[in-house]
Amino acid sequence: MNQIGRKIFSAAMVLATLICAVVVLVPLISILIYLISKGIGSVNLDFFTHLPRPVGEAGGGMANAIVGSLLLIALACLWAIPVGVFGGVYLSEFGKGTMSSVIRFTADVLTGVPSIVIGIFAYTLFVLPMRSFSVLSGAFALGVMLIPVTLRTTEEIVKTVPVTLREAALALGINRFRTTVSIVMKTAMSGIMTGILLAIARVSGETAPLLFTAFGNRVWSQSLTEPIAALPLQIFAYAISPFEDWHRQAWAGALVLIGIVFALTLISRFLTKTRYQAHH
Amino acid sequence: MIASSRKSRSADLERIESLIKKGAPRGRLIDEAFRIFVGVLAWSSVGLAVLLFLVLLRESWPSIRQFGWAFLWSSEWDAVKEHFGILPVIYGTLVSSLLALIFAVPLSMGIAIFLSELGPPWIRKPLAALIELLAAIPSVIYGLWGIFVLCPVLRTVVEPFLGKHFGFLPLFQGPSYGVGMLAAGIILSIMIIPTISSISREIFLTIPTPLKEGALALGATRWEMIQLAVLPPSRSGILGAVLLGLGRALGETMAVTMVIGNRHDISLSLFEPAYTMASLIANEFSEATTPLYTAALVETGLVLLIVTLILNIIARVLVWSVSRQVKGVPA
């Protein structure tokens, strides 16, 4: 090929890669436009304060599903975040040798386990013995998904704390426990929070692990051993229903859900930024 | 960098430990207690993973004993006669995921090259952030969009067009339903593009700049530089990225369940409804009435788990070996 031909070919390929990048934005923009145009009309005060209405009755909202999602996520965080964060601290501060590589590797592999399989896991451990779909089983399933992500991000963040800080603390006669908790973890706190928020953003849209654990509920749940509604479950149920009115509600629910997920993602981005500004 | 930082990390930890040993033994008890506490929490994640596998194995045992290997190649799924085989479901899972790769891999490569090498620097960051947004969208919302936006377009525009012009291929025959294999493949490809493109981009960024400068200095055009200096050393890393994307596609549940049509049939046509392992479990698990039915669904989950685990392990080893090998080159 001659000189000019090669240059033209190169330019054409640069253009082709640009087109790839633009093509991928098409579904993103389409999804966002549809969510807003179809959902915004039904997102009103009723949506946040009312229970779902039966078929045929207009109006109603997803109050129980929103509260249900928040409760499920809160309970999942309650047990899974300590495991993930302190597990990550262990890997960063004490993790040497092949044994900790086993933990790292398992965590990475656990991230790849299909969420529906985690649903079966929680079903077998909680729903079968308790003979009922429940809040607890749903919170367990979401927690299993939270652990590997928080574990690995915490390890990476805590590792970036300069080793001189630890040496200085130890030289002052502070014991290892206080050094790790009050110096190292405190320094890395905004980074750890970022990891936690990203993990929560990831699981807050999860539907598959809740299908046969939290199960969904058309009314308020009275206890942790009852089935409970969740926003993604409600969106799913409404989307596959044949009713026009429920479809509208599904779009509204989806708009609220994506608002929550994007907000969490943005907050964590903001935290990351301030952290780097503080250090550099 | 991963390998070298890990080595210096171990050195740091050892230095700290020797400092503690030399120093006063104040608070040794609480230190040990703390170390054991965090160690137990870290190991409990491994315990969970092992428990997950054992629980699935135990719960699927009735089905494994009843059907043996025939479970994998029988195509009969009859809840009334209690005969279960998942060949059509395996077929549906593989074809929908392969279809997703066919769409996603070339696009992801283009994006990764654009974002790491060819694109103007000012556009790279915002564009990468936008593509990462795709990864943040929950699966159920992809499904919602699939049902009400993608499927109607496929039914009224794309599938009639393909049927008219390429109808001689068995792939594009039959009526246009909208829902079906093609819809599932497209949705999956959108969902795995962020995974494949972001890992590939990171792999490309590990290529030492002197290699690229060398190619350019020898008179290569920008594209030839990509071909000569960037792509060859990244090959196994890209394979790893693709396998991670494949693992995600195989296990993806909600969006696929909502658009694939859910039918236990093997059909060559991409227009026909199909089924995947994950969507089978999602649809039928809470309706399973007999112990054997439930066991068959759990065994489907076990098969899915084993396949995705193997893929993930191979992929991680590939990505890890590339980042190590490239860093080994003195830059």
For every residue of chain A, which 3-state class applies, written as one string?
Answer: CCHHHHHHHHHHHHHHHHHHHHHHHHHHHHHHHHHHHHHHHHCCHHHHHCCCCCCCCCCCCCHHHHHHHHHHHHHHHHHHHHHHHHHHHHHHHCCCHHHHHHHHHHHHHHHCCCHHHHHHHHHHHHHHHHCCCCHHHHHHHHHHHHHHHHHHHHHHHHHCCCHHHHHHHHHCCCCHHHHHHHHHHHHCHHHHHHHHHHHHHHHHCCCHHHCCCCECCCCCCCCCCCCECCHHHHHHHHHCCCCHHHHHHHHHHHHHHHHHHHHHHHHHHHHHHHHHHHHC
Contact A112 B248 (CB under 8 A): yes
* Residue A104, token pair as written in the block: 């790292």
Residues 6+ apart with CB under 8 A from B276: B89, B92, B93, B96, B184, B250, B256, B257, B260
pLDDT at B229: 92
Residues of A with Cβ-Cβ distance to B252 under 8 angstroms: 114
- Which CATH code fits A63-279? 1.10.3720.10
Q: Which of residues 272-311 of B touch A (CB under 8 A)?
A: 278, 281-282, 285-286, 297-298, 301, 304-305, 308-309, 311
Residues of A with Cβ-Cβ distance to B221 under 8 angstroms: 6-7, 9-10
Query: pLDDT class for B139, splitting at 50, 70, 90?
Result: very high
List A228's β-bridge partners, or say none. Answer: A215
The alpha-carbon gap from A49 to the nearest alpha carbon of chain B, in Å, equals: 22
* Residue B235, token pair as written in the block: 């090959």
Contact B312 A35 (CB under 8 A): no
pLDDT at B3: 44
Indicate the burial class of A166 (C-beta count within 10 angstroms; 0-12, 13-18, 19 or more). Answer: buried
Contact B278 A208 (CB under 8 A): yes
pLDDT at A275: 55
Query: pLDDT class for B7, splitting at 50, 70, 90?
Result: low
H-helix segments, chain B: 2-22, 28-67, 70-73, 87-113, 121-136, 139-145, 151-153, 159-166, 181-205, 209-217, 222-225, 231-251, 254-259, 277-284, 291-328
What distance lies between CA B78 and its chain's CA centroid? 30
Q: Average of pLDDT values for B145-167? A: 93
**Contact with chain A for residue B144, Cβ under 8 A:** yes
pLDDT for B9 beyond 70: yes
Residues of A with Cβ-Cβ distance to B106 under 8 angstroms: 20
Domain edges within chain A = 63-279
Spatial separation of the C-alpha atoms in residues A23 and A21, rounded to whole Å: 6
Tens-digit pLDDT profile for residues B31-59:
889 999 999 999 999 999 999 999 999 99
Spatial separation of the C-alpha atoms in residues B277 and B91, rounded to whole Å: 9
Preferred mutation among B221, B227, B316 to probe A, highest tally of A CBs within 10 A = B221
Spatial separation of the C-alpha atoms in residues B5 and A263, rounded to whole Å: 33
Q: Which of residues 179-218 of B touch A (CB under 8 A)?
A: 190, 193, 197
Contact A90 B38 (CB under 8 A): yes
Q: Which of residues 17-46 of B touch A (CB under 8 A)?
A: 19-20, 23-24, 26-28, 30-31, 33-35, 37-39, 41-46
Contact B305 A117 (CB under 8 A): yes
pLDDT at B325: 63
Contact A20 B109 (CB under 8 A): yes
Which residues of chain A fall short of a pLDDT of 50?
278-280
Tens-digit pLDDT profile for residues B181-234:
999 999 999 999 999 999 999 999 988 999 999 999 999 999 999 999 999 989
Contact B134 A123 (CB under 8 A): no
Tens-digit pLDDT profile for residues A222-264:
999 999 999 999 999 999 999 988 999 999 999 999 999 999 9
Spatial separation of the C-alpha atoms in residues B280 and A114, rounded to whole Å: 13
> CB pairs below 8 Å between A and B: how many?
289
Does the predicted model carry a pTM greater than 0.95? no
By the 8 A CB rule, do A252 and A39 touch? yes
Spatial separation of the C-alpha atoms in residues A259 and A158, rounded to whole Å: 30
Q: Which amino acid is at A105?
A: F
Preferred mutation among A2, A113, A116 to probe B, highest tally of B CBs within 10 A = A116
DSSP output for B167-197? TTSGGG-S---SSSHHHHHHHHHHHHHHHHH
ipTM over 0.90: yes
Q: Around Cβ A24, how many Cβ atoms within 10 Å?
A: 23
pLDDT for B315 beyond 50: yes
pLDDT at B27: 66
Give all domains of chain B, ordered by start, each with its CATH number.
71-328 (1.10.3720.10)
pLDDT at B5: 52
pLDDT at B331: 33
Average pLDDT of the residues of chain B: 89
